[in-house]
Amino acid sequence: MNQMSAIQLWQAALGELELSISKANFTTWFKNTFVSSFENGRVVISVPNAFTKLYIEKRYHSVIQKSLQNALNAPVREILYSVDSRLPAPEPPPTRESLAPVQAAPNWKAAAVAESGTLSGTNEFGLRQSYTFENFIVGKGSELAHAAALAVTEHPGVKYNPFFIHGGVGLGKTHLLQAVGNRLLERNPELKALCVTCEQFTNDFISALRSGHTKEFRDRYRSVDLLLVDDIQFITGKEGTQEEFFHTFNALYQAGKQVVITSDRPPKSIGTLEERLRSRFEMGLIADISAPDLETRIAILTSKCQEHGWSMLSRDVLAMIADTVQTNVRELEGALNKIIAHHEFYNLQPTVESVREVLATFSQNQAKKSITPKQLIHTVAGYFDLNIDDLLGKSREKKLAFPRQITMYLMRTELKSSFPTIGDELGGRDHTTAIHACEKISKVLENDERLRLDMEAIKERLYTGI
């Protein structure tokens, strides 16, 4: 078995796992785990200690199995968890206390790395070194954004400030954002760069407020030469964070420091964004990335194969993959990894036919399936990390009542269930409760971008069956 493919396999499985459990649990339990071998339908996962082994085995075995099977596109008969004491132990699981104010001044750098998850392999600046200009394949859809990003690296803080990149998921926004950071650091290792997701910025800000460390927070964010903020659309609806970001931005801008921002939509389409922040975003350079065309998709696949030393895929096979997977680059990479893993697992030489077979199940998984109310309930419960009895139970606690209403809403919109059926399925409630829930959620959705994104994520999980 080839070492690379074990890593690829686990990365692919982790990618799915990450979507199906809460972020805190994911980081806690899957940090420092890896696949140490896989053959003949048997996968060995190395974990750092016996406690993690016990916990993962008990709680996550079936999701792990599902994710591995999906990644391999083959049945996994047996999963063994083996303790590898050379691995660093994970932090304790998140508890209520961990939400309490921190006592000492937080270690920002460490926090940034931990937040983004060590699995993504980011360095102290929050950058992943593999995202470079060198391995970014330029195509029609990304030409402009790529050229603009390069221009930013030529004259940081001068010409294009802020630089705002927007585009759909998996099209290379994060890659370009990080490439700017990596290039500038390469030129000047003394540069103070910081790359965070909007979520990290928000969390840092909130914990600074709670712990009374706002000065440290400001010192940290306002003293950098380069601030890279990923997925800024998540700032919607968070007034305090918007205000703080506005001041952070102004401080950096006035000091001639470069700011680069990504978003899944242009500034004008980010709902509930303060006008003054929107106009800041619009005063620099805005570039969008759109989906790559066929030729670019082939070039991307070729480049990824070279990167990994996969020489077994012929040009015809690559062209077929590129032709089949048209959505985005992330999916394209996912399909490629799956094909490689599948063929290595069975020790097969990939042919157009065998790859087509793997791709057929890949697109089947992506196609909409008919969903049952039970599956929907299960998915929502999993998404919010709730237990099904609680979700269907009587408690009106917000952390249960809101997901319950979301379930009812999705049952109406996705499954087209009648209100009485919805009431029945949701623990025998009256149909008026279902009507009220659906009305409420559609109302909230009008202004709450975050909920909209949650809905998308739940639906994605629902239809991909992860």
Binding site for ligand ADP (CB under 6 A): 135-137, 142, 167, 169-175, 300, 329-330, 333
Q: What's the gap between Cα 49 and its chain centre? A: 27
How far is residue 241's CA from residue 248's CA, in Å, rounded to a whole number?
10
Stretch that binds Mg ion, among 1-9, 173-181, 244-252, 299-307 (CB under 5 A): 173-181
Q: How many CB atoms lie within 10 A of CB 213?
A: 20
Residue 45's H or E segment, with its range, is strand 42-47
Strand order in the sheet with 42-47: 34-39, 42-47, 78-83
Answer with the entry of Mg ion, ligand ADP, none that 20 interacts with (C-beta below 5 to 8 A by kind): none
**Shortest CB 217 distance to ligand ADP, Å:** 25
What residue number has its CB nearest to ligand ADP? 172
Specify the residue for token string 């290039």: 183
Between residues 329 and 392, which has the closer beta carbon with respect to ligand ADP?
329
Between residues 173 and 257, which has the closer beta carbon with respect to Mg ion?
173
How far is residue 72's CA from residue 66's CA, in Å, rounded to a whole number?
10
What residue number has its CB nearest to Mg ion? 174
State yes or no: residue 46 binds Mg ion (CB under 5 A). no
Please choose, from the candidates 80, 12, 11, the residue with its C-alpha nearest in 3D space to the C-alpha of residue 41: 80
Q: Return the CA Rg of the chain.
A: 23
199: three-class secondary structure by DSSP: helix
How far is residue 12's CA from residue 92's CA, in Å, rounded to a whole number?
25
| DSSP code for 388 | H
Between residues 171 and 318, which has the closer beta carbon with respect to ligand ADP?
171
For every residue of 333-372, DSSP letters joined together read HHHHHHHHHHHHHTT----HHHHHHHHHHHHHHHS-----
State yes or no: residue 20 binds Mg ion (CB under 5 A). no
Buried b / exposed e over 356-394, threshold 16 CB at 10 Å, is eebbeebeeebeeeebebeebbbbbbbbbebeeebbbee
**Shortest CB 234 distance to ligand ADP, Å:** 13
Q: Are 230 and 197 in contact (CB under 8 A)?
A: yes
Stretch that binds Mg ion, among 78-86, 174-182, 248-256, 368-376 (CB under 5 A): 174-182
Answer with the entry of ligand ADP, Mg ion, none that 245 interacts with (C-beta below 5 to 8 A by kind): none
Query: What is the token pair recorded at 216?
Result: 């440290």
- Which amino acid makes up residue 45? I
Between residues 166 and 342, which has the closer beta carbon with respect to ligand ADP?
166
Stretch that binds Mg ion, among 167-175, 208-216, 316-324, 357-365 (CB under 5 A): 167-175
**Shortest CB 202 distance to ligand ADP, Å:** 18
Answer with the entry of Mg ion, ligand ADP, none that 137 interacts with (C-beta below 5 to 8 A by kind): ligand ADP
Stretch that binds Mg ion, among 9-17, 171-179, 319-327, 402-410 (CB under 5 A): 171-179
The contacts of residue 384 (CB under 8 Å, 6+ apart) are 22, 391, 399, 403
**Shortest CB 334 distance to ligand ADP, Å:** 9
CA–CA–CA angle 208, 209, 210 (5° rounding): 90
Between residues 91 and 456, which has the closer beta carbon with respect to ligand ADP?
456
Q: Are 170 and 328 in contact (CB under 8 A)?
A: yes
State yes or no: residue 174 binds Mg ion (CB under 5 A). yes
Between residues 300 and 426, which has the closer beta carbon with respect to ligand ADP?
300
Between residues 70 and 174, which has the closer beta carbon with respect to Mg ion?
174
Stretch that binds Mg ion, among 61-69, 165-173, 197-205, 281-289 (CB under 5 A): 165-173
State yes or no: residue 200 binds Mg ion (CB under 5 A). no
**Shortest CB 13 distance to ligand ADP, Å:** 16
Between residues 90 and 334, which has the closer beta carbon with respect to ligand ADP?
334
Between residues 330 and 440, which has the closer beta carbon with respect to ligand ADP?
330
**Shortest CB 197 distance to ligand ADP, Å:** 10
The contacts of residue 433 (CB under 8 Å, 6+ apart) are 408, 423, 426
Query: Where along the sequence are the contacts to Mg ion (CB under 5 A)?
Result: 173-174
